[in-house]
Amino acid sequence: MGAASADLVADLLAGDRRALARVLTRIEDGAGDVVRPLIAGLHPHTGEATLVGVTGAPGAGKSTLVDALIGSWRAAGQTVGVLAIDPSSPFSGGALLGDRVRMQDHVLDEGVFIRSMASRGQLGGLSWSTPQALLALDAAGFDVLLVETVGVGQGEVEVAGLADTTVVVVAPGMGDAVQAAKAGILEVADVFCVNKADRPGASRTARELRELQMLGNHDGADTPIVLTTASSGEGIEELRTAVADHRTALEAGDELAARRRARARLQIRELALGTVRARTAAVRGAASLDALAVAVADRELDPYSAADRLLDALDGA
Amino acid sequence: MGAASADLVADLLAGDRRALARVLTRIEDGAGDVVRPLIAGLHPHTGEATLVGVTGAPGAGKSTLVDALIGSWRAAGQTVGVLAIDPSSPFSGGALLGDRVRMQDHVLDEGVFIRSMASRGQLGGLSWSTPQALLALDAAGFDVLLVETVGVGQGEVEVAGLADTTVVVVAPGMGDAVQAAKAGILEVADVFCVNKADRPGASRTARELRELQMLGNHDGADTPIVLTTASSGEGIEELRTAVADHRTALEAGDELAARRRARARLQIRELALGTVRARTAAVRGAASLDALAVAVADRELDPYSAADRLLDALDGA
């Protein structure tokens, strides 16, 4: 590990928030040779934090909910690190990040650290950097790590692969539970949260969630459903308790360890595939991706044969 | 190519819809050694179809819109193949697929073929099978291929990578355009569609889309915005015309060929990575994913070093 990396790791472990921010920036930039020594230095100091995923459709009020949950954990004496995965676009710029700014209620609290990360440009809904960023927050000593995703669908399934406990948030409204089911996120829920419960239809949405679960005939049919109104704080303690109870149940069996092994498995494989992806970009000549793409587009070569040539070029390199 | 594959390909090329359905099932099952000869046989007969992506948030009315667009293309004498990428879940079962069933208005029309494909379990929002399935529909001779995605976010960006023309659908309503911007799907739009335009706020949503685009200061600020009411057919011809105009503009420059090369590039790389992924699952012993995951979870090995060992095992195999 280079001297600069070693210093940065030492500072992060000592609780220096600026060092943490710098490490996260390097992880997000994603240059493997820069990130590798950081992770090697941090990894032995990880494994203690509780990982909670919060996910659901746009408009379900996830940011306000996360804000309220932070307050609840803090009141209970726990420190909280938040990673908000943001499919940021050139269009959104800073203007749409008002909710992030709002979370800066906690900006003066040393026990809270909030970071947005872009998922843009990554294959897969979650940024590949996410697991590495979580290691950095874990090593920095936060009791609870919260990963929030904007969006619906694949990203949520991946969050579930990363978190110890996944909270799926829906808002009352015509067909919201059905839309969540369509998006395939119901079965990743360890805890359901019907947020904006002061709106009409909240209890119907809860009932729909239960019915859809029964329909799926899944063994998770007793997944707790908590009604919250994040803006007023209603139900937030109950939600935090449901998360804690799930965690306790995980620890009672081998399930927590099993989830963490699955997480490690995914992380290892994706890091390896990331290396292979980088190698494919470095191939030159007739087996380069550009040359192969022209041959496939011109129907001189089929895609499988092209993929074979690319792999042969890697194996021979 | 095995005799069975050769027969299936010949039947598909001759217009046999049951052969097409069987090929799609094999592609979706995804066994490389089964799919490979099919694609090799079909690929020389592809490249003629127009690829249109339709994407947007759940609830925007995409299925109804696709249904109306099919009717419009059929009235114009064009045949249409539809691939609906469905993040299907154990919970959704068949019960939620009412909209797919509804599209079966066209079930007696030989000029229309509709297929749902699950994206579940795939890393990346789009099923890796999608590009291969599109080749099969293309070879079967459909004039227009339409890919519809449920969900918001990364899947949409990938659709844009696959399609010649991408239609982003939003519905009027509080902040829908802003939510779309947050999800990062505005900049992949070649055509905007404000659907459910008979609802209050449609023109405001259109204005918001325009403003968000300006805010992004993007060179695509003249992206056409079409208002539709898919349920009544209002605006559907205008939408089809906007798609056709975009295609004409693409063909005028090198842009269509460039998009297709980019698509081939992505497809080749992902097929190659799929092969590597399969190889990683086959590694046994101390460098197996399971063994490495235990070592990482126990903090005996950091994730990068584990990924290196996995790749070393592959390179040595």
pLDDT tens digits for B98-154?
445 555 567 678 899 998 877 654 444 456 788 899 999 999 999 999 998 765 555
The secondary structure of residue A283, as a DSSP letter, is -
A196 and A302 inside one domain: no
Give the C-alpha separation, B13 to B268, whole Å. Answer: 23
Of the candidates A181, A262, A307, which has its C-beta nearest B272's C-beta? Answer: A307
Residue B288 is predicted with a pLDDT of: 97
Query: Would you say residue B261 lies in a domain?
Result: no
Residue B215 is predicted with a pLDDT of: 72
Query: Would you say residue A260 lies in a domain?
Result: no
Which residue of A45, A64, A126, A268 to mutate against B (max B Cβ within 10 Å)? A268
Residue A116 is predicted with a pLDDT of: 83
Q: How many CB pairs under 8 A join A and B?
A: 296
The distance of B247 to chain A (nearest Cα, Å) reads: 17
pLDDT at residue B279 tops 90: yes
Query: Would you say residue B184 lies in a domain?
Result: yes
ipTM of the complex: 0.87
Residue A94 is predicted with a pLDDT of: 37
Amino acid at B83: L
Query: Would you say residue B260 lies in a domain?
Result: no
Determine, for residues B184 and A88 on separate chains, whether the beta-carbon distance falls below 8 Å: yes
B159 and B241 inside one domain: yes
Nearest chain B residue to A210, by CA:
B91
Strand ranges across the sheet with A80-86: A112-118, A80-86, A144-149, A50-56, A165-170, A191-194, A225-227
Nearest chain A residue to B265, by CA:
A293
A67 and A160 inside one domain: yes
Provide, as residue numbers in chain A, all residues whose Cβ is less than 8 Å from the Cβ of B217.
90
CB B119 within 8 A of CB A119: no
Angle among Cα A99, A105, A111 to the nearest 5 degrees reads 115
pLDDT tens digits for B151-193?
555 555 666 667 999 999 988 975 667 766 666 667 788 999 9
Burial of A177 (0-12, 13-18, 19+ CB in 10 A): buried
Of the candidates B90, B96, B178, which has its C-beta nearest A218's C-beta? Answer: B90
Provide, as residue numbers in chain B, all residues whose Cβ is less than 8 Å from the Cβ of A98.
none
A72 and A185 inside one domain: yes
**Which of residues B202, B222, B253 is at a domain's end?**
B253
Of the candidates A151, A262, A306, which has its C-beta nearest B152's C-beta? Answer: A151
A118 and A191 inside one domain: yes
B179 and B276 inside one domain: no
Provide, as residue numbers in chain A, all residues whose Cβ is less than 8 Å from the Cβ of B187.
89-91
Tokens 């739009």, located at residue:
B189
> How many independent structural domains does chain B possess?
3
* pTM for this prediction: 0.83
B52 and B41 inside one domain: no
pLDDT at residue B17 tops 70: yes
Provide, as residue numbers in chain A, all residues whose Cβ is less than 8 Å from the Cβ of B212.
91
A246 and A209 inside one domain: yes
Of the candidates A212, A277, A299, which has its C-beta nearest B91's C-beta? Answer: A212
Determine, for residues A59 and B311 on separate chains, whether the beta-carbon distance falls below 8 Å: no
Query: Would you say residue A56 lies in a domain?
Result: yes
**Which of residues A255, A279, A303 is at a domain's end?**
A255
B103 and B157 inside one domain: yes
C-alpha A220 chain-centroid distance: 22
Of the candidates B47, B183, B311, which has its C-beta nearest A272's C-beta? Answer: B311
Which structural domain range is residue B311 located in? 266-316
What CATH number corresponds to the domain at position A232? 3.40.50.300
Query: Would you say residue B82 lies in a domain?
Result: yes
Query: Would you say residue B290 lies in a domain?
Result: yes
| Coil, strand or helix at B255 | helix
CB B116 within 8 A of CB B86: yes
Between residues A281 and B58, which one has the greater pLDDT? Answer: A281
A24 and A133 inside one domain: no
B80 and B181 inside one domain: yes
CB B121 within 8 A of CB B90: no
**Which of residues B201, B220, B253 is at a domain's end?**
B253
Query: Would you say residue A261 lies in a domain?
Result: no
CB A205 within 8 A of CB A57: no
A217 and A95 inside one domain: yes
Taking the CB of residue A38, how many other CB atoms lie within 10 A of it?
Answer: 28
The distance of B132 to chain A (nearest Cα, Å) reads: 9
Give the C-alpha separation, A274 to B303, whole Å. Answer: 13
Per-residue pLDDT of chain A (317 residues; tens, 9 = 90+): 556 899 999 999 999 999 999 999 998 887 778 899 999 999 999 999 999 999 887 778 888 999 999 999 999 999 999 998 766 543 433 334 444 555 556 767 889 999 887 765 444 445 678 889 999 999 999 999 999 876 555 555 666 667 999 999 988 975 667 766 666 667 788 999 999 999 999 999 999 888 887 776 555 558 999 999 999 999 999 999 999 999 999 999 889 999 999 999 989 998 999 889 889 999 999 999 999 999 999 999 999 999 999 999 998 76
Residue B309 is predicted with a pLDDT of: 97
